[in-house]
Structure 1
């Protein structure tokens, strides 16, 4: 989401987490990570790369920002209503929508992590992922004993918060962060477990219908 670009908050936060000083920190956007085997064109990118060029060589960390997708009608009508609204509070939504946590996490984010993280692990780097609070809560929220040791995992999870300003509006601010392995992250993103065989087959029996209907 564009809101996560505010004030380079996430970039400076990640730089501090990995030990980069503000004066040494560099930023690159949409760096090609994969290429098409037939055309050689970029087939996948890392959203942001936070780096430091030092005497010891180039050090860098990827940063992916994951939005939450909605199920329901498009949002264009809501933006049009906001443009014409003069009330101090936003207008009530004109359609029923809900955040689609599963499409946002298990179906979209998890495949990206399973492709990118193993390569970054071989390269001696890590990937940071920024999501909002409700998204992270849908994954189970903070770990019971969260680690902030970069050696403990592959992915730096960053969960910024919006804090109210004195004169109205909100400010993107630092919130929770922790380090998880790819395997731990995948389990949290999946947020589901396989049903028993008996339960599956019971549901199957209830849903089975003849392929050919008997003639009268």
Structure 2
């Protein structure tokens, strides 16, 4: 049996933690103590529960056995490890390390009633060397579906076994919510405006997320003039954030990736329907 569980917790590889360290982090996750500093940004961890990434495990005697799949990033701060994204984007667009500058959470929209900011770009990479040139960067971690992690934290808070307990509940990466419901609206709002402003938006996701969207194009374009969205795809390897793949797509091509889905057959739908039907009035 395979279930997703914690891969990295407050920036530390979960399987490397001692039972005492797991207990300490569980106390922070349950808000009994203050959370530690984030190792990827100069801030105190602001991710509820402190789970940076999750990965699937096999069970062995009620305990975690071996890892059975790739790690999936669940916290946007995880993408900031070593400033890899900013350095990578600067290299692609031709900004030297001496000229590259960044700004965070730059207001992009404002309310028509209050005049207050109503939307921001996560990061902006800019250069002032030849006038102002800039590129927006949106970072998208993955949500997961299934029961929350609080029961896992409770179990870890009282567990002293050398090997961590097997995850108590089923959960999985929710690619659809992360892409069509979260990232697609961001591109629809920001992409056309940046295109009119003769700039581009970069989007950072991890490799499992990008594979869920269909993976790299064949062949991928590295021509910045060929599209509107610059996709930066990372992977996690031995606790390190690494470059995995990049390509340029138009807004329309990006939308097709994010919305890629097709209806199930009527027979499959009705089979599922039969399994869910209950008399009216029952919860």
Query: TM tier, shorter chain?
Result: 0.7 to 0.9
Is the partner of 1:9 in helix, strand or coil?
A: helix
Of the candidates 200, 223, 231, which is equivalent to residue 149 of structure 1? 223
Is the partner of 1:74 in helix, strand or coil?
A: coil
CA distances 1:159-214 after superposition (whole Å, capped 9, x unpaired): 111122xxxxx111111000000000000111124689xx69x97xx99xxxxxxx
Q: In 2, Cα distance between the equivalents of 1:158 and 1:81?
A: 37
> Aligned-pair distance for 1:65?
0.5
Q: In 2, Cα distance between the equivalents of 1:124 and 1:72?
A: 41
Which residue matches 1:191?
260
CA shift in 2, pair 1:34/1:89, >3 Å: farther
Kindly indicate whether residue 86 of structure 2 is the aligned counterpart of residue 11 of structure 1.
yes
Which residue matches 2:247?
178
Q: In 2, Cα distance between the equivalents of 1:85 and 1:22?
A: 47
Is the partner of 2:215 in helix, strand or coil?
A: coil
Of the candidates 184, 200, 203, which is equivalent to residue 129 of structure 1? 203
CA distances 1:87-118 after superposition (whole Å, capped 9, x unpaired): 77654222111111111111111111011000
Q: In 2, Cα distance between the equivalents of 1:46 and 1:79?
A: 33
Unaligned 5+ runs, structure 1: 165-169, 208-216
Q: In 2, Cα distance between the equivalents of 1:82 and 1:177?
A: 38
Q: In 1, Cα distance between the equivalents of 2:264 and 2:133?
A: 44
Of the candidates 52, 61, 71, which is equivalent to residue 135 of structure 2? 61
Which residue matches 1:50?
125
CA distances 1:118-160 after superposition (whole Å, capped 9, x unpaired): 0000111000000111110110000011000100000000111
Is the partner of 2:190 in helix, strand or coil?
A: helix
CA shift in 2, pair 1:148/1:85, >3 Å: farther
CA shift in 2, pair 1:150/1:74, >3 Å: same
Over aligned residues, Cα RMSD in angstroms? 2.5
Which residue matches 1:27?
102
Is the partner of 2:233 in helix, strand or coil?
A: strand
- Structure 1 runs (4+) deviating above 2 angstroms are 75-92, 193-196
Q: Scaled by the length of structure 1, what TM-score is found?
A: 0.82
Unaligned 5+ runs, structure 2: 1-75, 275-283
> Aligned-pair distance for 1:76?
3.2
